[in-house]
Amino acid sequence: MSFSITRIVEFHETDMAGMVHFANFFKYFEAAESEYFRALGWSIFDADANLRWPRVSVSCDFKRPVRFGDQVRVDLMVRSVDCRSLELEFILYREANNESSVAATGRCVNVCAYYDAASRRVRARSIPDELLAALQCDIGASQAATEAAK
């Protein structure tokens, strides 16, 4: 089982080619990531716990255009996690007339980090045990979901 969000494409997300500007797909993926962390009881940016997740790498492959007013669904899968970094995979579907077609797939690798006030730098840290366990738990489930989608 994967984690999903659904949203309607907004006007300001389009460009003059009449479709969603490609950079906005990363905002959709990030929204899914935020909701996923929230569902786990955490946050992708937590000032109190001094926990954040700077990105190391991201990518996206585009299959079909998505347009103003379209309903899209983003599935999020945990690909891998170790004590410091997390790899997520995303599949964005355009949903219409009871059919879903894959519009884009994406990936991101984030590291767990904290803000060190003394040096004014963001530094890597270990993922909190409880969160690590929850993320690991979702790997197997995600793999099954990805296989099923193929």
Q: Which of residues 39-58 bind a second copy (CB under 8 A)?
A: 43-45, 52, 54-58
**Is-contact 67 18, C-beta < 8 A?**
yes
| Token representation of residue 17 | 């080619």
CA distances (Å), origin 119, targets 115, 116, 123, 146: 9, 6, 10, 41
27 binds a second copy (CB under 8 A): yes
CB of 140 to a second copy, least distance (A): 27
CB of 17 to a second copy, least distance (A): 6
- Please tell me the number of Cα atoms within 13 Å of 114 on its side-chain side: 10
136 binds a second copy (CB under 8 A): no
* DSSP annotation string for 44-92: SEETTTTEE--EEEEEEEE-S---TT-EEEEEEEEEEE-SSEEEEEEEE
Interface characters, 77-116, with a second copy (x: CB under 8 A): ----------------------------------------
61 binds a second copy (CB under 8 A): yes
* Binding positions for a second copy, rule: CB under 8 A: 8, 10-12, 14-19, 21-24, 26-27, 30-31, 34, 38, 43-45, 52, 54-62, 65, 67-69, 122
